[in-house]
């Protein structure tokens, strides 16, 4: 098992290194001034449609202050907006702007095409297994 764990660590390290590089590329596709880690925030906002800052902070496991600063940067770029929460006047609902959605969707389509090309020679079952195992790993890590 030790050798298998070392192999997993090696492959995970290579994946993360590629992921960081890819994050820079995708962030620039969304907006030239976008920080690479902000792509993940945009992905969560795109998935949820609208979400309170405190709920997003919990999902991401980061502090509200840190997240608020990051969201402020995305607002300044015109990618995210804050709307009053209809159930709590003290809170706000975060969502992508139309421009943010358009830019994110275009960058995501390019990313998915890149992934499709990388996996096109794999049998369909292998791709499904890969997605399932990655999800399982991410849920427990």
- 119/57 Cα distance (integer angstroms): 33
Can you list the domains of the chain with their CATH numbers?
A: 1-139 (1.10.10.10)
Please state, rounded to an integer, the average pLDDT across all residues of the chain: 91
Q: What is the pTM of this model?
A: 0.79
Token code pair at residue 61: 């496991």
Note the pLDDT tens digit of each residue in 39-74. Answer: 889 999 999 989 999 899 998 889 999 999 999 999
- 107/15 Cα distance (integer angstroms): 20
Token code pair at residue 26: 């995708």
Per-residue pLDDT, 141: 76
Residue with tokens 């991401």: 60
Of 22-26, 94-98, 113-117, the poorest mean pLDDT is in: 22-26
Per-residue pLDDT, 119: 96
Strand 51-52 relative to strand 88-96: parallel, antiparallel, unpaired? antiparallel
Where does the pLDDT of residue 78 fall: very low under 50, low under 70, confident under 90, or very high at 90 and above? very high
Per-residue pLDDT, 87: 86
Per-residue pLDDT, 1: 67
Average pLDDT (76-103) is 92
Q: Among residues of the chain, what percentage have pLDDT more than 70?
A: 99
Residue 22 has pLDDT above 90, yes or no: no
Closest CA to 31 of 104, 110, 113: 104
The secondary structure element, H or E, covering residue 94 is strand 88-96
CB 42 within 8 A of CB 111: no
DSSP class of 79:
S
Per-residue pLDDT, 20: 82
Residue 91 has pLDDT above 90, yes or no: no
């Amino acid at each position: 098992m030790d050798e298998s764990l070392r192999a997993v660590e090696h492959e995970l390290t290579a994946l993360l290194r590629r992921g960081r590089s890819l994050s820079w590329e995708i962030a620039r596709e969304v907006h030239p001034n976008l920080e690479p880690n902000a792509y993940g925030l945009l992905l969560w906002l795109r998935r949820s449609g609208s979400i309170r800052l405190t709920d997003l902070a919990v999902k991401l496991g980061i502090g509200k202050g840190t997240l608020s600063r990051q969201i402020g940067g995305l607002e300044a770029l015109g990618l995210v907006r804050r709307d009053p929460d209809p159930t709590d006047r003290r809170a706000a609902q975060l969502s992508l702007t139309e421009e943010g959605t358009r830019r994110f969707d275009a960058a995501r389509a390019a990313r998915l095409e890149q992934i499709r090309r990388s996996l096109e020679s794999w049998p369909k079952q292998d791709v499904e297994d890969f997605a399932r195992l990655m999800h399982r790993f991410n849920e427990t890590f």
